[in-house]
Amino acid sequence: MKEKLEKVAEALRKNNFDVHIVASGDEARKLALSLIPEGASVGLGGSVTVQQVGLLDALRNGKYRLFDQYEAGISREENIRRRKQGLTADFFVTGTNAVTEDGELVNIDGFGNRVAALAFGPSKVILLVGRNKLVKNIEAGFKRIYDVVAPKNAKRFGVNPPCVKDGKCSNCNHPQRICNIYSVIARQVEKGRITVILIDSDLGF
């Protein structure tokens, strides 16, 4: 696995991503925090990995201007406002659904703010990526999304499209469908705008 991580890291660097490889979620959290100066504005994209490693809590408790759309009790209007604020933040913190061996990021999104921020907007983007997200190619990335990411996230969100029952995507037209926007980032024009932290642990979906 270490060799595979190094291979993917090399491919990502060729595509103008900054890349770090760490052994654990704790190391990933500490590294991510070291990249974000106090007082910076920070936007969030949905990520189980960011929660699992304790980065979300650290951002909430730190000296940052956090646009936290996941704060309990806020209205839908406030949730959307904070998502929009995140698109012009100094930093945007999230995960990715898959990373290919050629150094490409493969994602789906429900609202679109996460993939929008990956593509353009925030000055810097930090991605936390468990080793279980590594795939051979773009096709395998979307297969992973259809068979793993979509069903698990739909269940986590408490919605009930067919994938929750079937265990795989059926390209449904359900009103609670979460697979609405698809994205592949093959390369960054601005070198180093996106930092990918590869974690030698299975994390997130």
Give 16-65 pLDDT, tens digit per residue. Answer: 999 999 999 999 999 999 999 999 999 999 899 999 999 999 999 999 99
Sign of CA dihedral 133, 156, 47, 149: positive
- Tell which CATH classification among 2.40.50, 3.40.50, 3.10.450, 3.40.30 matches the domain 2-102+113-136+187-199: 3.40.50
By the 8 A CB rule, do 180 and 2 touch? Answer: no
pLDDT in the model for residue 105: 98
Residues 6+ apart with CB under 8 A from 102: 11, 15, 137
* Mean pLDDT rounded to a whole number for the chain: 93
The percent of residues in the chain predicted with pLDDT above 90, rounded, is 79
Amino acid in position 28: A
pLDDT in the model for residue 154: 67
Whether 184 has a pLDDT exceeding 80, the answer reads yes
pLDDT in the model for residue 166: 77
The pTM for the full model equals 0.92
Q: How many CA atoms lie less than 13 Å away from 61 in the CB half-sphere?
A: 5
